[in-house]
């Protein structure tokens, strides 16, 4: 059984390969995950207003920041990866976006903004990578205005696939760099401790050992990739406990 689980786990590398295929097959001029090529609504879009200043805490290649830039007053993207920020800045310049700024920053350190500076904060798949997770959440709360809103995405360590990996004695977090992943109850408790009120919590998508293979199809055929994404959404509705993570809207008290 352990050998079988190891073989399934090795398919995860196909997600990285899909990013190269996206470029090689001409779907993008830069390597990126095929999910960024699918037009979907930003899940927190209804909470945005034209007067908002938004901080994208761990912005990566800036996809979310660029998409929401036309819906808000200003977006500031922070990330510690110079290569990602170079791509983010190039994308913003190509679109002639004047209200988007990208800054290199270590998320374990104090944010370079005054108290009550931003209206909204995006923190998507970032906390798990940090040593100082509680400190980072405290900093997010500090720079948010009163009644400001945090859009948080965290990974779920309790899916069937992850439990199978754990039972086989394998590292089971979604990313080798993850320091910790939050069970649903744990992240809710942490947010309450940091004086956030949870407005909404929802699932992400179905966790499956085939996700690397599914991502690989995105490098070859976006139409097939879309169908497989729909299958994962169907499955997570049937098995919400097997969601890859949680999307949380939380308001500063």
- The residue range of the domain holding 144 is 2-252
Percent of the chain with pLDDT over 70: 100
* pLDDT for 28: 87
Q: Please give the structure tokens belonging to residue 196.
A: 């956030």
User: DSSP letter at 242?
Assistant: G
- Is residue 86 within 8 Å of 63, Cβ to Cβ? no
Percent of the chain with pLDDT over 90: 93
196-203 vs 245-252, strand pairing mode: antiparallel
Q: Kindly report the CATH number assigned to the domain that includes residue 110.
A: 3.40.50.150
Which of helix, strand or coil describes residue 2?
Answer: helix
Task: Give the mean pLDDT of 224-253.
Answer: 97
* pLDDT for 26: 92
* pLDDT for 157: 98
Radius of gyration of the chain (CA): 18
Give the CA count within 13 Å in the CB-facing half-sphere of 61: 13
Beta bridge partners of 83: none
pLDDT in tens, 82-132: 999 999 999 999 999 999 999 999 999 999 999 999 999 999 999 999 999
Of 184, 186, 218, 251, the closest CA to residue 31 belongs to 218
How many domains does the chain contain in total?
A: 1
* pLDDT for 180: 97
Predicted TM-score of the model (pTM)? 0.92
* pLDDT for 29: 83
């Amino acid at each position: 059984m352990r050998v079988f689980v190891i073989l399934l786990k090795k398919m995860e590398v196909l997600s990285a390969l899909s990013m190269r295929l996206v470029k090689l097959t001409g779907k993008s001029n830069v390597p990126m995950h095929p999910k960024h090529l699918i037009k979907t609504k930003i899940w927190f879009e209804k909470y945005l207003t034209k007067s908002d200043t938004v901080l994208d805490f761990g912005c990566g290649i800036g996809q979310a920041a660029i998409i929401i830039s036309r819906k808000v007053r200003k977006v500031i993207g922070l990330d510690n990866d110079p290569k990602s920020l170079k791509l983010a800045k190039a994308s913003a310049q190509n679109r002639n976006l004047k209200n988007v700024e990208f800054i290199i920053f270590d998320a374990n350190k104090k944010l370079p903004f005054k108290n009550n500076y931003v209206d909204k904060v995006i923190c998507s798949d970032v906390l798990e990578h940090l040593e100082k997770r509680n400190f980072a959440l405290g900093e997010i709360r500090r720079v948010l205005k009163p009644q400001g809103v945090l859009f948080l995405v965290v990974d779920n360590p309790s899916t069937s696939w992850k439990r199978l990996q754990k039972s086989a004695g394998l590292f089971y977090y979604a990313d080798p760099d993850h320091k910790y992943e939050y069970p649903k109850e744990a992240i809710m408790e942490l947010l309450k401790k940091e004086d956030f009120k949870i407005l909404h919590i929802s699932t992400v998508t179905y966790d499956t050992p085939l996700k690397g293979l599914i991502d690989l199809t995105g490098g070859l055929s976006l139409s097939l990739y879309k169908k497989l994404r729909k299958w994962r959404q169907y499955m997570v509705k049937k098995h919400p406990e097997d969601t890859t993570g949680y999307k949380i809207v939380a308001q500063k008290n």
